[in-house]
Amino acid sequence: MNISKYEQRVLHALAQGGHIVHRRDGETSHIVAVDCFTRDGYVLTDCTMTLFRRLKRRRLVASVDGGPYRVTRLGLAAVRSQLDNR
């Protein structure tokens, strides 16, 4: 699967334990904004609404019972391993 650099960066943060918090419009219940948090609680600014929609459409991220979006098994398989500096 072809994954862009920004998608790769977001998926890697999610694979390490991060999550994507979404906000919905009150009237239409559509997702209007997303924030990607790393496992340390920092906000990843590379995660835009367009990028989130692309990840969701490819089923690389999913939400369970209205909770935050997390990486799926398909997303874990798609992400290339990266050297962690810890």
φ/ψ of residue 81, rounded to 5: -65, 140
For the entire predicted model, the pTM comes to 0.87
Average pLDDT, the chain: 91
The pLDDT tens digits for 8-57 are: 999 999 999 999 999 999 899 899 999 999 999 999 998 999 999 999 99
Closest by CA position to 39, among listed 22, 21, 17: 17
Pairing type for strands 69-71 and 61-63 reads: antiparallel
